[in-house]
Amino acid sequence: MERECEENLKQIIKGFRECQNAFTAIGDETRQLILLVLLESDLNGIRVGEIAQKTHLTRPSVSHHLQILKDARIVAMRREGTKNYYYLCTDETQWKEISDLINRVYASIQHISSQP
C-alpha cells in the first residue's frame, strides 16, 4: 500500500510540473473571461475581433492573452487563409492532463480522509 501511495505522489508531482504553465495561464481573470467567451461560442473557433467585442478588451490585449493560453496548450488555433480562429478542444490542448491531475489529487484526498 505504501508503494502505491509513493507512486501516486510521484504522478501528482509530475502532473503539477507538466500543467504548471496551464494553471498559471488560467489563473488570470482576463484569460478566464476569454475562456468563457470561447466556451459560449460554438467551439468551431472565434476570431480575435469577436472576442474583443464580447469582452470589451482591445484587440492587442486579446491577442496577447490568447498567445499565453495557446503557449500553455489551453487554447488551440487554426488558420484559414489570413484568418485565425481560436477554440477549445480536448485533443490539441492540455485539458485532459489537467482533469486527470485534479482527479488524482481528489482521489488522494478522499483516500487520506477515509483513513482512521
Q: Which helix (H) or strand (E) holds 85?
A: strand 83-87
pLDDT tens-place string over residues 10-36: 999 999 999 999 999 999 999 999 999
pLDDT tens-place string over residues 77-111: 999 999 999 999 888 889 999 999 999 999 988 88
Rounded (to 5) percent helix, strand, coil in the chain: 65, 10, 25
List beta partners, residue 76.
87
pTM: 0.88
Cβ–Cβ under 8 Å, residues 75 and 39: no
Is residue 1's pLDDT more than 80?
Answer: no
